[in-house]
Structure 1
C-alpha cells in the first residue's frame, strides 16, 4: 500500500480558522470553482447531487448582515444573538452557503442525502485549506430559521442550509485544541 505522507500529514494537522480572523484576499473565481469542484467529490448514492452552492461575496454578506439585524429585531430575538450573527456576515469577505437540496428517491433515504451535504461542507473547508486559504464551517440560528433563510437566499421550501463556509486569508494560525481519544472511541469486532 502506498501512503502519501504529505496528504496524511495534512489531514492529521488540518485546522479550521476562526471566521472573524479571515481577511483578504479571498479565492478568485477560478480558484473558487476548483475548490467547489473538489468539495463535490463526495459519496453521492444515486448521483442525486443533493446540494448546491450560493456564493456570497462581500456586498452579499453585508446585505445578509443587515437582513439578520432587521429580522432579529422584528422577531424579538436577543440583541446579543442578533449582534453575533450579524457580525459574522458583516465582517466576512466571502461565504459559501452549502444548501442541502434533497431529491425525491425511493433508493436513497434523506439521511444519506443529508450526510452527503455535510461531506460537501467538510470537503470545501479542506479544499480551501489545501489551497492556502483559511476556512470555517458555521451555522447558527440564522441557518436553522427557515422563515428567515428561505426568502433571504431564495431557497426552495424543501431546502435548508448545511453550512456557511467562510473563506479568506487567515491572519494567523490558531492554537491547537484538544482532540478526541480515538482509541477510546473505537471498537474492533472479530
Structure 2
C-alpha cells in the first residue's frame, strides 16, 4: 500500500482479533512512532505494551480505578473487559521534559503524532488499530500505576490486532468546510 492511499483511507476498525503484531512487525510500529515530529530531540514518548498476561494487568488497573470511583458493578465489569477489545494495547505516554523552547503542549502533540504513526505502520503491515483515550487515560489510579507523573500525559491507548470485520467505506468530507486561505 502506498503512503498516500494509507493516509487517505485510514479507518479505525471496532473489531480486532489475534494475531497481534510481533517481532519485526511490532518493532516497525515502534520505529514509526519514534519518527514523530520531535522538536529539540526530546523523545517525549514512552510505550507500554499490554499483551498476553499484560492484558490482565491493564484490566486490573482499570478495575482498581473504577472501584476507587465507587463505580457500579456494570462499570467495573466494563473496565475489566476494556483491554480485551483487541489482542494488544500499547499505552502511549507523553514523557515531558522541561525545555525553554519546547512547551508541554508540543510534547503532548508529539506523542499524539507517535500514536498516529504507529497506527499507520500497523495498517501498512496488514494489521489494524484504533486509538482511544477516555476517562481512564486521565484517572489518577491509572496514571500512578503506569508511572505517569506531573505534566506527563497518556496520549492514548492504541488497540492493535488483525481486522475482524470488513472496513466500511471512507466517508468523504467537504474540504471547503475545513480549509481556509489567507
Answer yes or no: same fold by TM over 0.5. Answer: yes
Change (3 A) 1:106 1:168: same
Would you identify which runs of 4 or more consecutive aligned residues in structure 1 move more than 6 Å? none
Structure-2 residue corresponding to 1:60: 54
Contact 1:97 1:163 in 2 (8 A): yes
CA contact (8 A) 2:6 2:120 kept: no
Is 1:42 the counterpart of 2:36? The answer is: yes
Alignment of 1:137 onto 2:148: no
Which ranges in structure 1 are unaligned for 5 or more consecutive residues? none
Structure 1: how far apart are the matches of 2:85 and 2:181? 46
Partner residue in 2 for 1:86:
80
SS at match of 1:35: helix
Stretch moving more, 157-166 or 82-91: 82-91
Is there any run of 5+ residues in structure 2 with no aligned partner, and where? none
The separation in 1 between residues aligned to 2:78 and 2:179, in whole angstroms, is: 37
Give deviations 1:133-167, integer Å, cap 9, x for gaps.
0101011111111x211232233444221011011
Count of paired positions: 182
How does the TM-score come out when normalised to structure 1?
0.86
Task: Give the RMSD, CA atoms, in angstroms.
Answer: 1.9
Output the CA distance in 2 between the equivalents of 1:92 and 1:60. 13
Q: Are the counterparts in 2 of residues 85 and 140 from structure 1 also a CA contact under 8 Å?
A: no
Contact residue 61 and residue 92 of structure 1 kept, 8 A: no
> Which of 11, 14, 22 is 2:10 aligned to?
14
Q: Does 1:148 align with 2:144?
A: no
- 175-184 vs 44-53, which deviates more? 175-184
Displacement after TM superposition at 1:176 (Å): 2.9
Aligned equivalents of 2:109, 2:8: Cα separation in 1: 22
